[in-house]
Amino acid sequence: MKLVRFGAKGEERPAILGADGFLRDLSEHVTDIDASTLSADKLAKIAALNVEELPVVQDDSVRLGPPVKIGKIICIGLNYTDHAAEVKLPLPTEPTIFMKGCHPTGAFDSVTLPKGSEKGDWEVELGIVIGKRGLYIDTSNALEHVAGYCVVNDLSERSYQMDRGGQWTKGKSFPGFAPVGPWLVTADEVPDSSSLSIWLAVNGHRYQDGNTRNLVFDVPAVVSYVSNFYQLEAGDLIITGTPAGVGLGQNPPVFLKPGDVVTAGIEGLGSQRLEIRGWKE
């Protein structure tokens, strides 16, 4: 299934994308796509619905919000072999964890750069949405805790990250720096998360063109590892790192500026389109 939340910010309603390409309203069956919806039993009930009998969302211009009401955003850094090489850092021996401290936004919402932005950057990433609480999860059972997957852009202000005390979270947490979606694709439709093409372009130029086969730590390993330090809850989002091609890795570096358009996608999970805006007092 491809689950969606649509409507104005803070007023999103649940929907499902039908095989015919139409959004179908789920409001009569679930109150939201959130922690209460993501268990295997609840998702099975949604899957059993006759989608063609659900009301069509008639407004073609309706906003798509984050496809799930997200709890924590936990990030894994340097998790692609090619990205570690381009930033000239050694491969980690354990997953590198940091947090993203902003609210998620939709896949087509505009992104405003911070005041005085110098080094705005992009990172397309595979997002894992947790469906079942877990602590000390064994790798062999990790996928039982995964509700589904989505596209995420881990936007950054590198000057905050690298020139202001070396804190990754500080550079990753400006409002709007976590576009998610357009859909939450349930795990049953992604039988192999370790072989998905993943890409990102700025103004039509493709900078990132990778594949999840280059992950240092795959999805089960990441979920299991993170659960040693956090109690994972339904609705938590783990983003798994980015392939080569970030702006910082270009020669010379390329950074985002007002007016840029960033598009990004992952095989089977849909694509995003983000217009970049400058800060206005």
- Residue ranges of alpha helices (H) inside 9-157 are 40-47, 81-86
Q: What is the pLDDT of residue 114?
A: 97
Same domain, 134 and 272: yes
Q: What is the pLDDT of residue 260?
A: 98
Q: What is the pLDDT of residue 166?
A: 74
Beta carbons of 214 and 48 less than 8 angstroms apart: no
Q: List beta partners, residue 3.
A: 16, 184
Average pLDDT, integer, range 182-199: 97
pLDDT > 90 in the chain, percent? 90
In a domain, 191, yes or no: yes
Average pLDDT, integer, range 101-108: 97
* CB atoms closer than 10 angstroms to residue 234: 21
- Measured CA to CA, the distance from residue 170 to residue 256 in angstroms comes to 18
Q: What is the pLDDT of residue 89?
A: 80
- Count the helix, strand and coil residues of the chain and give each as a percent rounded to the nearest 5: 20, 30, 50
Same domain, 165 and 272: yes
What pLDDT digit, counting tens, does each position of 236-259 carry? 999 999 999 999 999 999 999 999
Same domain, 190 and 250: yes
Same domain, 220 and 93: yes
Beta carbons of 127 and 240 less than 8 angstroms apart: yes
In a domain, 119, yes or no: yes
Name which residue leads in pLDDT, 201 or 88.
201
Average pLDDT, integer, range 110-120: 97
Query: Is the pLDDT at 181 greater than 70, yes or no?
Result: yes
Asked which of 45-54, 85-94, 113-122, 234-243 is least confident by mean pLDDT, the reply is 85-94
Same domain, 123 and 243: yes
Asked which of 58-62, 179-183, 273-277 is least confident by mean pLDDT, the reply is 58-62
Q: Which amino acid is at 222?
A: V
Same domain, 38 and 123: no
Query: Is the pLDDT at 158 greater than 80, yes or no?
Result: yes
Same domain, 31 and 170: no
Q: What is the pLDDT of residue 165?
A: 81
pTM confidence score: 0.96
Same domain, 78 and 45: no
pLDDT > 70 in the chain, percent? 100
In a domain, 59, yes or no: no
CA-to-CA separations, 167 to 34, 77, 221, 226, 237, in angstroms, rounded:
30, 12, 25, 19, 20
Sorted by sequence, the CB contacts under 8 Å of residue 256 that are 6+ apart come out as: 113, 117, 120, 121, 122, 202, 247, 262, 276
Query: Is the pLDDT at 205 greater than 80, yes or no?
Result: yes
User: Which CATH number do you get for residue 268?
Assistant: 3.90.850.10
Which domain covers residue 226, as residue numbers? 73-277
In a domain, 62, yes or no: no
Count of CA atoms in the C-beta half-sphere (13 A) of 113: 23
What pLDDT digit, counting tens, does each position of 35-79 carry? 999 999 999 999 999 999 999 998 878 999 999 999 999 999 989
In a domain, 63, yes or no: no
Q: What is the pLDDT of residue 86?
A: 83
Query: Is the pLDDT at 88 greater than 90, yes or no?
Result: no
In a domain, 30, yes or no: yes
Same domain, 20 and 83: no
Average pLDDT, the chain: 96
Query: Is the pLDDT at 281 greater than 70, yes or no?
Result: no
